[in-house]
Structure 1
């Protein structure tokens, strides 16, 4: 198995954004990567990329065989064909900033996983909504408790043998569950303060939907049921308890977001966080 990184790109109705995501990989100075583009809408993304002049041998194409199976199912399908030592998710409407892989890959190889800061950007006008960590606020190491105090999605580079897979029955806050399980397996891992991941907020995405708050609440209840049952496979009992407490806090924050959304003060959860009310 190669020592590079398999970047798994779950793609659902993403023909208008896939070029940006893949281009961000082509601009990396760390070149030992493959991009596993997973179609979750029954379409072929190769013609879209080729029309833009992109036909790189590092691109691998597969699919879920379904339409709308969800990001967890798509990422698992990508994992099934990924060939390299590290795994990194990249949403099809997001992008890596230059230098991300050269900063994170060596750390992940040495410590099992590595995270970085995240910039939340409004897709329509490229304006910065917020950063996960402000200037001088990012810790050098991230553990489960530190992660559970965050509210912005995080996308680690992870050693393949530590990747737990994505729970397909957790269909909204799947990234939270995945990251907790990674940190349960790896322990504290390095956090790079530079915001190398650009999380794009765009109309039509799941977080923009009018029922996003209801979806989040259903997900939180389901995660609580799993924690009370199989513990989501989390071995550290203290971390399981902390996760349960964090879900209660997230439900309260979600209720506040719902109120702000209904009052017209924000269009999505990240805009709500930018208001400073979350």
Structure 2
């Protein structure tokens, strides 16, 4: 068997009923591309019986339990044979036409990586946000700072670093490092997209203080040794500071938004319609994001209420 063009990395934790759709969404878009889907169990489950027999499916040993998504993803990454890699949560999916993966691969080969637009869907399937907006051709750190949602790169394997030991934002750090390795700006995929399917019990449904603590630790890591981001470390830190500020604004004010309301709040904030009474200038045009916290003010979040801002779509460990 020739080397796959792409390895899809799935960390599986209590997603037995959901992972078949995630896998189907990959294979349905793999026309013209050699893909492998690697499932790394993190709940002691052998996921092979949940899925059809297909030589494109591979599995790590099902022994580890609750080691964290970062550890499961690293187990998948360790056996990945693809020339490119992409992370997919077991309760999310890909969207696009049958040849969308091949098209994205062609775009990534020229640039080292390509950004997949993220479509956040509510439990009924209706779209809440699309990041970036349609028509965006390239995406870099400046645009990432305004996204306020996890975004994913389909990245050349040699540019992909191992996932760092964070419970909530390991994917964010992985993709920021991939963006840095690809030069700080990448094309936006023109056909393939990532679907965040919101469900109760996901990482999105996590207290804001937990996200705040991880943002703080990530910022300390970048300040200490650059976190493998090279000359792009200051830009990556600026992204995390701005996201942390939004997390505090939405989830740290003493009230907890319902599932999906983080993204509704962000959309309203950027449009100047939220919080109430904070309309933007210029007749409702896009507002700038909240001011990032200066490094000396990055203390702990006072309240544990609220939802986290990374916009995750995986089962809670």
TM-score by length of 1: 0.88
1:183 maps to which residue?
179
**Structure-1 separation of matches of 2:213 and 2:4:** 39
Question: Counting strand residues as a fraction of each chain, which structure ranks higher?
Answer: 1
Which sections of structure 1, spanning at least 5 residues, go unmatched? none
1:165 is aligned to 2:165 = no
Larger Rg: 2
- Tell me the residue number matched to 1:85: 83
Which residue number in structure 1 is paired with residue 266 of structure 2? 273
Which of 137, 141, 146 matches 1:144?
A: 141
Q: Structure 2 matches for 1:179-218, cutoff 5 A?
A: 179-187=175-183, 188-194=185-191, 196-209=193-206, 211=207, 213-218=208-213
Q: What is the RMSD of the two structures over their aligned residues, measured on CA atoms?
A: 2.0
Alpha-carbon shift at residue 272 of structure 1 (Å): 3.0
- State the partner residue of 1:5: 6
Match of 1:219 among 190, 214, 219: 214
Q: Which residue of 2 aligns with 1:228?
A: 223
Please report how far the alpha carbon of residue 37 of structure 1 lies from its aligned counterpart in structure 2 after TM superposition.
0.7
Question: Relative to structure 1, is the Cα distance of residues 130 and 195 closer, same or farther in structure 2, using a 3 angstrom cutoff?
Answer: farther
Q: Work out the CA distance in 1 between the residues paired with 2:215 and 2:172.
A: 10
**How many residues are treated as equivalent by the alignment?**
265
**Which residue matches 1:35?**
37
Distance (Å, rounded) in 2 between the aligned partners of 1:88 and 1:248: 25
The offset of 1:148, in angstroms, is 3.0
Show the counterpart of 1:251.
Answer: 244
- How far does the alpha carbon of each residue in 1:33-55 deviate from its partner, in whole angstroms, 9 at most, with x for none? 00001101110111112xxxx21
Q: 1:130 maps to what in 2?
A: 129
- In 2, the alpha carbon distance for the partners of 1:135 and 1:110 equals 21
Indicate conservation of the 8 Å contact 1:131/1:195, yes or no.
Answer: no
> Stretches of 4+ moved more than 3 A in 1?
262-266, 274-278
d(CA) in 2 for partners of 1:229, 1:64: 35
After superposition, the Cα gap between the structure-2 partners of 1:98 and 1:32, relative to the gap in structure 1 and judged at 3 Å, is: same
Q: Which residue of 1 aligns with 2:119?
A: 119
Other structure's SS at 1:255 match:
helix
TM-score (norm 2): 0.78
